[in-house]
Amino acid sequence: MEYVDNNRISHRQLYRQMVLAFLAPVLLCLPGEGRILGKTGIAGTAAAAVFLILYSFFLRRLIPWYSDPVKMLGPVAGRLTGLFFLSYVILAAAYILALTGELVPAVLVTGIPGTVILFFAALVCSFGTRKGMQRRGRMAEVSGGVLLGGVFLMMVLCAGQVRISYLREMTETAVFSGDAFFKSVYGVICGFSGIALLPFILRDVEKRSTVGKPVVMGILTLTGLLAAILLLLPAVLGWNRLQHERYPVLPLLAGADLPGNVLARFDVLWMGFLLYSLLFAAGSLFHYGHQILVRSHMGTGKLWFPTAVFAAAVIKVQGKGIAAVFGQYLSYVFVPGLILIQGSMLFYGKKKRQKKAAGCVFLVLSLLLSGCAAIEPEKRMYPLALGVNTSEAGFSMIYGMPDLPQATGQEKEEKEKDASVLSIAGKDFSEIRERYDRSQEKYLDMSHIQVILMGDQLLESGRWTEFLAFLDKDPFVGENVYVFRTEDPSAVLSWDSGGTSIGEYLTGLLENRLPDQQKKGTTLRQVYHQWYKDGTLPSLPVIVLEKEEIQVYLE
């Protein structure tokens, strides 16, 4: 029968495996602070794409060498080659897991230790990776299309946030230099270094004579996406900000709105897509690790291989983990070593060719112990408006809380009313946060802030930069929040807005108009942009409280 006679995968499965395995690592790790950005980045990506396509043709010639390196190169050289690739697979898998362990607690689920995240990710990724190429092919085929579609959709939705003026900044200020260009090309090639493992998979692809087409398509899709992201990032976040963001792809959708307002924010979904791709990449590396071990006659590594990956992801030497050294390993060890080994293969190769219970308890315990970070919705405080000003102590933060029973119409009996305005002062924002944690029963959830009111004193003192630096570190504050200035934020937040919160009131005041009458407020993203650009603030709408009535003066 067609499906039982071999262990081959189709071209479509190969293409989707490539896309799934490279998508998140490439999008997350290549663009960003001190890496590939701007015009040189786009040009470098295009040049690297050409190189990678040519390299893929060369790789097809090496399939026999990868099939059985021991047979082709002899027991010592064959095993050394196996070890070279194995070290790459272990370190790359460790790097991806470490990245997952770093990003997930920072932007998705706060409170769970990165090591726990890393452990579960390693466990799941190693599941079934020794069971044949077809399984991975099917996984990729069934989920690759959905993921690719999702990423495209997200990018289309993100396009709504594009500002031509931001893009112009890049074209005007970014300098195109030969040195930066070659660094970009080499950076992209290093990012796609996993492609060197392609001969391991090509052996198991049907219709090998035409296998170049899906490989080329895969490279073009991935480099095309990377180039599109390199274009979108400055157009959405601004060129100057981009140079200070370590993973700029993450906040890309923080300010995007979904048509119909079905969801307030959907950057969680974007991160979900990237996370799935990261897991698939790690799973693929586990799979290849097993393949390398078997083909180099070094056993199966059933237990020690995942353990080694986990250990490499966790261990830190002098405070430096795999994330800090992997880039250097790629640049100075793996890629040069690869050129050497593959070159010698080509030179050498003309003549010779072709080739459970205890664990469950532990898992359940880990699951339960790691989950204490979750906080129920009724045990959170949701400030909808945030006021900030300088005070005698240093700063004061004023949180405008909603009146829950009034806001939701679900009045429960014998319930104490929440305070609608909470003011906390401290010498800096960390101290204010500590004071909040010491004095308040509920967890402060800043993810639903709708407006930020900056006091005149704060703006005049120039200490607003400290406030912005504090906000920038909090990934949960949306970047579509409106920012205002006012003389006394506390008075505005205490103003009786007639049943709705001041956050909703001010948002409504700007948005609830016919399209041609809509008022243009200033969003947090615009504030960040201007701040990163020249260290100043854009003009902010002013709120004036006159005779117990709010007036908003736009520019």
> What residues numbered 269-308 form the site for another protein, per CB under 8 A?
269, 271-272, 275-276, 279-280, 283
Q: Write the CB contacts of 6 (distance below 8 Å, at least 6 apart in sequence).
A: 206
Q: How far is the CB of 207 from another protein (least distance, A)?
A: 9
Q: Is residue 4 at the binding interface for another protein, with CB under 8 A as the rule? A: yes
H or E segment at 483?
A: strand 482-486
Q: Is residue 410 at the binding interface for another protein, with CB under 8 A as the rule? A: yes
Q: Give the nearer residue to another protein in terms of CB position, either 132 or 212.
A: 132
Q: Would you call 166 exposed, middle or buried from its count of C-beta atoms within 10 A (0-12, 13-18, 19+)? A: buried
Phi, psi of 230 (to 5 degrees): -65, -25
Cα–Cα distance between 326 and 317 in angstroms, integer?
13
Q: Give the nearer residue to another protein in terms of CB position, either 288 or 382.
A: 382
Q: How far is the CB of 69 from another protein (least distance, A)?
A: 27
388 bridge partner residues:
397, 454
User: Count residues contacting another protein (CB under 8 A)?
Assistant: 73
Q: Is residue 264 at the binding interface for another protein, with CB under 8 A as the rule? A: yes
Q: How many other β-carbons are positioned within 10 Å of the β-carbon of residue 431?
A: 15
Q: Give the nearer residue to another protein in terms of CB position, either 88 or 270.
A: 270
Cα–Cα distance between 161 and 236 in angstroms, integer?
6
CB 333 within 8 A of CB 192: no
Q: Give the nearer residue to another protein in terms of CB position, either 193 or 406.
A: 406
Taking CB under 8 A as the criterion, the residue among 311, 374, 419, 544 binding another protein is 374
C-alpha dihedral sign at 18, 19, 25, 29 = positive
Q: Give the nearer residue to another protein in terms of CB position, either 78 or 114.
A: 114
Q: How far is the CB of 7 from another protein (least distance, A)?
A: 12
Cα–Cα distance between 337 and 332 in angstroms, integer?
8
Cα–Cα distance between 316 and 217 in angstroms, integer?
38
Phi-psi label, residue 260: left if phi above 0, alpha if psi -120 to 50, beta otherwise: left
Q: Would you call 229 exposed, middle or buried from its count of C-beta atoms within 10 A (0-12, 13-18, 19+)? A: buried
Binding mask 105-134 for another protein (x = CB under 8 A): ---xxx-x----x--xx--xx-xx--xx-x
Q: How far is the CB of 363 from another protein (least distance, A)?
A: 11
Q: How far is the CB of 145 from another protein (least distance, A)?
A: 9
Q: How far is the CB of 72 from another protein (least distance, A)?
A: 29
What is the DSSP pairing of strand 385-390 with strand 380-381?
unpaired
Q: Is residue 257 at the binding interface for another protein, with CB under 8 A as the rule? A: no
Cα–Cα distance between 327 and 325 in angstroms, integer?
6
Q: Is residue 521 at the binding interface for another protein, with CB under 8 A as the rule? A: no
Q: Give the nearer residue to another protein in terms of CB position, either 39 or 130.
A: 130
CB 542 within 8 A of CB 484: yes
Subset of 54-83 contacting another protein (CB under 8 A): none
Q: Give the nearer residue to another protein in terms of CB position, either 450 or 497.
A: 450
Q: Which stretch, 23-31, 104-112, 309-317, 514-522, contacts another protein (CB under 8 A)? A: 104-112
Q: Is residue 363 at the binding interface for another protein, with CB under 8 A as the rule? A: no
Please count the residues of the chain.
555
The CA-based dihedral angle spanning residues 218, 221, 224, 225, taken in that order and rounded to the nearest 10 degrees: -120
Q: Is residue 407 at the binding interface for another protein, with CB under 8 A as the rule? A: yes
Q: How far is the CB of 264 from another protein (least distance, A)?
A: 5
Q: Write the CB contacts of 361 (distance below 8 Å, at least 6 apart in sequence).
A: none
Q: Give the nearer residue to another protein in terms of CB position, either 374 or 469.
A: 374
Taking CB under 8 A as the criterion, the residue among 350, 351, 412, 417 binding another protein is 412
Taking CB under 8 A as the criterion, the residue among 445, 466, 487, 488 binding another protein is 445
Q: Give the nearer residue to another protein in terms of CB position, either 272 or 349.
A: 272
Q: Which residue has the tokens 């390196």?
A: 69
46 bridge partner residues:
none
Q: Which stretch, 66-74, 76-84, 377-385, 392-400, contacts another protein (CB under 8 A)? A: 377-385
Q: Is residue 371 at the binding interface for another protein, with CB under 8 A as the rule? A: yes
Q: Which stretch, 3-11, 27-35, 231-239, 306-314, contacts another protein (CB under 8 A)? A: 3-11
Q: Which stretch, 149-157, 180-188, 194-202, 380-388, contacts another protein (CB under 8 A)? A: 380-388
Q: Is residue 102 at the binding interface for another protein, with CB under 8 A as the rule? A: no
* Alpha-carbon distances of 121 from 114, 219, 270, 309, rounded to whole Å: 10, 26, 18, 11
Cα–Cα distance between 32 and 246 in angstroms, integer?
5
CB 338 within 8 A of CB 196: yes
Q: Which stretch, 239-247, 266-274, 289-297, 543-551, contacts another protein (CB under 8 A)? A: 266-274
Q: Which stretch, 233-241, 291-299, 364-372, 485-493, contacts another protein (CB under 8 A)? A: 364-372
Q: Give the nearer residue to another protein in terms of CB position, either 194 or 255.
A: 255
Q: Which stretch, 45-53, 84-92, 257-265, 305-313, contacts another protein (CB under 8 A)? A: 257-265
* Alpha-carbon distances of 340 from 120, 190, 346, rounded to whole Å: 36, 15, 10
Subset of 477-506 contacting another protein (CB under 8 A): 478, 503-504
Subset of 387-406 contacting another protein (CB under 8 A): 402, 404-405
Binding mask 204-223 for another protein (x = CB under 8 A): --x-----------------
Q: Give the nearer residue to another protein in terms of CB position, either 277 or 389.
A: 277
Cα–Cα distance between 474 and 468 in angstroms, integer?
10
Q: Give the nearer residue to another protein in terms of CB position, either 448 or 529.
A: 448
Cα–Cα distance between 329 and 202 in angstroms, integer?
26
